[in-house]
């Protein structure tokens, strides 16, 4: 994928869709950069609707939502999400996904979970987000696993509403107003 201009929507691979964004390939780093185009409140960089997709080496900059996922079994790695005015990634009824080596900084929420369980986050950084590193706003966001992640400088490091059995292994929480909160 050398250079992509997305005006309305463009199918990249399988059912991964770039919606209302400008994407360009940064030849110096072999990364694809996706930024806002319309300024719509829920403008989304990539929408995933099919199971088993891989997203790797993307930078999402100043867009409302970097990736919206309505499917399961996806792998997202080596991506950055900077200045997303809603979420870096939103999982909507999406289970058994892996997010690895991603950085979420200066977003409202780094990750938002809505009815999404059994996801694994490995070696991710959630830095200086204006609301939460991870925000599980609805119930039934259960059994999510966080391994070697850093949560720093947000009002909530992680917030879970009516969810259970979420685990943190070798994670660091620093300079958050509230590190972890689970409301039953």
Tell me: the pLDDT tens digits for 132-179? 999 998 889 999 999 999 999 999 999 998 899 999 999 999 999 998
* pTM beyond 0.75: yes
Look at the chain and report how many structural domains it folds into.
1
Weakest-pLDDT range from 35-39, 79-83, 122-126:
35-39
Give the DSSP H or E segment for 161: strand 156-161
Could you count the other beta carbons within 10 Å of the beta carbon of residue 41? 9
Q: What is the CA angle 39-43-45, rounded to 5? A: 120
Phi and psi at residue 96, to the nearest 5°: 55, 40
Q: Predicted confidence band at 183 (pLDDT cuts at 50, 70, 90)?
A: low
What is the predicted pLDDT for the residue at 16? 46
CATH of the domain at 111: 2.160.20.10
The DSSP secondary structure of 140-165, one letter per residue, reads ---S-EEES-EEESSSEEEEEES---
pLDDT of residue 82: 98
pLDDT in tens, 76-98: 999 999 999 999 999 999 999 99
Angle at 154 between CA 148 and CA 158, to 5 degrees: 55
- In this prediction, residue 10 carries a pLDDT of 31
Q: In which domain, by residue range, is 153 found?
A: 3-183
Across the chain, mean pLDDT equals 86
pLDDT tops 90 at residue 17: no
pLDDT score recorded for residue 184: 59
What is the rounded CA–CA span in Å between residue 180 and residue 177? 9
pLDDT of 1 higher than 60? no
């Amino acid at each position: 994928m050398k250079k992509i201009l997305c005006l309305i929507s463009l199918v990249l691979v399988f059912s991964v869709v770039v919606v209302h964004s400008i994407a360009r390939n940064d030849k110096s780093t072999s990364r694809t950069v996706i930024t806002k185009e319309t300024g719509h409140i829920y403008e989304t960089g990539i929408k995933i609707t099919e199971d088993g997709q891989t997203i790797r080496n993307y930078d999402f900059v100043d867009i409302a939502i970097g990736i919206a996922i309505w499917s399961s079994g996806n792998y997202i790695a080596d991506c950055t999400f900077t200045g997303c005015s809603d979420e870096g990634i939103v999982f909507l009824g999406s289970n058994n996904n892996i997010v690895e080596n991603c950085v979420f900084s200066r977003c409202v929420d780094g990750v938002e979970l809505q009815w999404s369980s059994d996801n694994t986050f490995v070696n991710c950084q959630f830095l200086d987000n204006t609301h939460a590193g991870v925000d599980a706003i609805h119930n039934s966001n259960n059994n999510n696993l966080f391994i070697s992640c850093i949560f720093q400088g947000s009002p909530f490091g992680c917030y879970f509403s009516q969810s259970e059995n979420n685990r943190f292994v070798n994670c660091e929480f620093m300079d958050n107003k509230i590190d972890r909160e689970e409301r039953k």
